[in-house]
Chain A
Amino acid sequence: MLVALLTTVATWAQVSFKADVPTIVALGQPFRIEFSVDAEPERDSFKAPEFAGFDVLAGPSVSTGHSVQFINGKKSASYSCTYTYVLMPTEAGKYTIGAATVTVEDKRYTTEPQRIEVIAEKESERPQQGSGKAHGSTSAESRISKDDILLRLKVSDTDVYKGEAIRASLVLYTRVSIADVSDINIPSFDGFWSQDLSFDNAPSREEYNGRIYETHKITELLLSPQQSGRITIPAATMSVRTPVEVQSNRGFDPFFGGRQIHYVTKNLSSKPVTIDVKEFPQGAPRSFKGAVGDFRISSSMPNSEIECNSADQLELTISGSGNLKFITAPKLSLPDSFEVYDTKIVDNIKASASGTSGSITYTYPFVARSAGEFTIAPIEFSFFDPATGEYNSLRTEPFTIMVEDDGSSVTQSVVGNYTNYGSTMRQLDRDIRYIHIGLLPDVAGSVVIFSPIYWLVVVVLVAIFVVLYILLRKRIRDNRNIVARRMKRADKVAIQRLRMAERSMGEGNRHAFYEEMLRAMWGYISDKFNIPQSNLTKETIREELFRRGVAMAVAEEFCEIISRSEEAQYAPSTDGEMGVVYADAIDVISKIEDVVKH
């Protein structure tokens, strides 16, 4: 059971059902279509598609084959079953042969629908086969017309940009059988960088100038133009020998070899091809160095933290398709204290029919000579994309690298003329300072100095000065008068107070007497010298009197009377003392009045 299942699986895995249909056929010429399956189909399970637009001349004819092989003791069996139809196109045009189905072990398989083109061939100049009455080799030659064998150099594009790769293939087109070819002369592709491509050399069918040919690729190359302008690829040449059957002129019975085979040698030459190579358009970015195609870049730095004086590297990979071989390494700008070594280049480039593609990896090794944190500026790479006709610029991410001080940087930093940052900072480069951004400055004002406005301001200032001076002076004068009046009043007030004290003395009221005495003394000084009472102390009185030219002794006496009055106000004292204090006070005030006169 299990084995049976396994076999089934194995069988399923192997089954393939394919349709073999020519892609191009000529109107009025029968052709074959084959559907082949490599397993035994169930009886009558094959269903052919509709052959709309074609007459079925024959078919389906079924042929089966079965073979068993033993190789190194292993058995391998193969089975094939082919259904063949012979069809005749009835009308020119494009048709699709639909899917055929077949059932193998309860499973249905279908073929892919196949496209087929029917073309009405031009009337050939070649005489009809069999009706030829030509004799000899000259007539044999004439039976091969120049349209029967052609050599063509096919290029994928004739209008390209510099550096844009094109595919060129040298193809032999033939409608007759060929015995051999010789003297293949492939032209020199001056102005191009060429590269051989591997190609499939199986013959195929192709329509050209309204006729169907069998084509054989002779060589296929990838060309990338290295200069702009019109470049002409010269003709390729080759010789071909074809067998031609001719009627024997000896009159033998055709059955005994009355037909002879003549070999006709044809020298073929392809038409020269002109390629228009366009120069790159204006406006190339600064980092553009001739890369053409479609690329991507990536960069990596294995270590972002290194020790001083140790090596590190940055890798940049450019991948994509285009003229990778001609890309120059993009410039890496490193901080000044980094020592840079030669860039290593590893490429992995494949050439294919659509151009070269692959990747190039640039490795930039460097040694950091001084410690610190550094930023490695992004690498810029620009290329020209011929598909869009535009330049593209790619930038890598900036890297930050931390260089740690290993302690040796002081001694080693002398090496290579690099100073470590312990010494003064070095001016690395200079450039002009940046423009001033901001709002548009106003129109520069007119000249101020000695202008009418200037003089006007001066005049106004002087006028203000004069007005202020006059006003203030008047007020000061008035103030002075008030002071003078108060001074005049000073001794009068003092005398009034003294009288009141005298009255208190007569009544024997000690407290009231001394209070009036003190008020008279303080009030006198305050009014006389225009000093507020709150600012007065004995010390200031002494100073003020001295400043006004009163004798030191008198000032002392004045202060002493104040002291005595203050003490006596609350202390028990003899009655006779009041009269002494009163007399002394009058004496002192009159002495002061003598000196300070107003």
Chain B
Amino acid sequence: MKRIYNIISVVVVFATLLLPSKLMAADAKTTAEVCWSEGIAAYEAKEYSEAVRCFEQVAELGYTSADLYYNLANSYFKLGEQHAEEGNRKFSGGELGRAVLNYHRALREDPALEDARYNLELAVDYTNDTEPLPESFIVTLWRGARDTATSNSWAIASLVLFGLMLGLIIFYLLSNNIALRKLSFFAALLLFVGFIFSTTFALSSRSDVEHDNRAVVICSDTTPVHASPESGSKVIRQPSQGVTVRALREHGEWSEISFADGEKGWIRSSKLEKI
């Protein structure tokens, strides 16, 4: 009897811990839902500026899901393309940079969002971004495995694996049958390895997000990058909108950035938007 009481109390504690994240002001939620469906309808009707406005409004209400950023990025991209049909230059309103930024944000929320990865690759083709420095094979492998799921998915997986492992250990400790004991021992060992990996993936994915210093160049065309934080200094590069850089430090109105190929320079902070 006491045990049942304990279980119930644990469940109650759980529920109270999970609840606050689910609770939102009810009207804000309906506003967001209306904006969201309006945004989708506008996109379907090729009214991309309206779609951008709606999705941005949802984002302002505090929604940070991968799908939202993905849709927002798509709307920016299509809006930029529409300029070409009206006789202007493609992406003349800085839409490409915004699109790249939001694809990055979508992938930050869900690294497994294949569509966002595909579209980002396509959008980056329009920029003059440099080839990144070659990565070691192991890092690529590690990242590829890690980015098949979100940090939270890995964390939940690690808990499940941990529970299963404990179950198998009980089996191992209490079973009479030698064959079963052997089997459960190795299975538990395997689960332990899995547990370690998933925990590490969850942690690494999280820390990448927390220490993410990537930023995207936002401008209408291209913007100069100087050798030092003063406008009189030499212009070393002229990145286009949508080029992804790492922001290293700030100095007044200037930010030091490093490009994918390792080159460093100074850019006006207003031309950067952090992912």
Interface residues of A (CB under 8 A from B): 286, 430-450, 452-454, 456-458, 460-462, 464-465, 467-469, 472-473, 476
Contact = CB atoms under 8 A, between A and B. Distances in A.
Contact of B159 (A446, A461, A464, A469): A461
Nearest to B40: A437
Contacts of A431: 122
A461 B160 CA distance: 10
Given A449-B151, A462-B166, A432 B33 contact: no
Nearest to A447: B206
B32 interface: yes
Interface in B202-229: 202-203, 206
A34 to B, nearest CB: 64
Nearest to B125: A430
Interface residues of B, number: 55
A433 B58 contact: no
Contacts of A469: 170, 173-174
B162 A440 contact: no
Given A444-B64, A448-B152, A449-B199, A465 B166 contact: yes
B110 to A, nearest CB: 9
Given A440-B32, A441-B67, A461 B14 contact: no
21 contacts: A432-B119, A432-B122, A433-B118, A435-B43, A435-B74, A440-B33, A440-B36, A441-B63, A441-B67, A443-B64, A444-B66, A445-B21, A447-B155, A448-B152, A448-B155, A449-B202, A449-B206, A461-B162, A467-B3, A468-B170, A472-B174
B154 interface: yes
B152 A443 contact: no
Nearest to A472: B174
A449 B10 CA distance: 19
Given A436-B67, A436-B70, A452 B17 contact: yes
A99 to B, nearest CB: 60
Nearest to B119: A432
Contacts of A473: 173-174
Given A432-B119, A456-B17, A443 B63 contact: yes
A436 B206 CA distance: 25
Nearest to A459: B10
Which of A439, A444, A446, A469 has most chain B Cβ within 10 Å? A444
B162 A458 contact: yes
A445 B18 CA distance: 9
A458 B159 contact: yes
Contact of A448 (B10, B77, B115, B151): B151
Nearest to B113: A436
B144 interface: no
A436 B166 contact: no
B275 interface: no
B24 interface: yes
Contacts of B36: 439-440
A-B interface, 10 closest residue pairs, ranked by CB to CB distance from nearest = A441-B65, A448-B155, A449-B202, A449-B155, A440-B36, A465-B166, A432-B119, A435-B71, A436-B67, A448-B152
Contacts of B33: 439-440
B240 interface: no
B163 interface: yes
A432 B71 CA distance: 11
B244 interface: no
B27 interface: no
A435 B123 contact: no
Nearest to B163: A461
A431 B125 CA distance: 12
B170 A472 contact: yes
Interface string B64-86: 11111011001101100000010
A435 B75 contact: yes
B14 A456 contact: yes
Given A449-B152, A468-B170, 7 more contacts: A435-B71, A445-B152, A447-B206, A448-B152, A448-B155, A453-B14, A453-B18
B155 A454 contact: yes
Which of A431, A438, A448, A472 has most chain B Cβ within 10 Å? A448
B248 interface: no
Contacts of B206: 447, 449
Contacts of B163: 461
B13 interface: yes
A458 B67 CA distance: 31
A458 B162 CA distance: 8
B156 interface: yes
Contact of A433 (B75, B119, B202, B203): B119
B169 interface: yes
Contacts of A448: 151-152, 155-156, 202
B273 interface: no
B129 interface: no
A443 B21 contact: yes
B232 interface: no
B30 to A, nearest CB: 10
A454 B63 contact: no
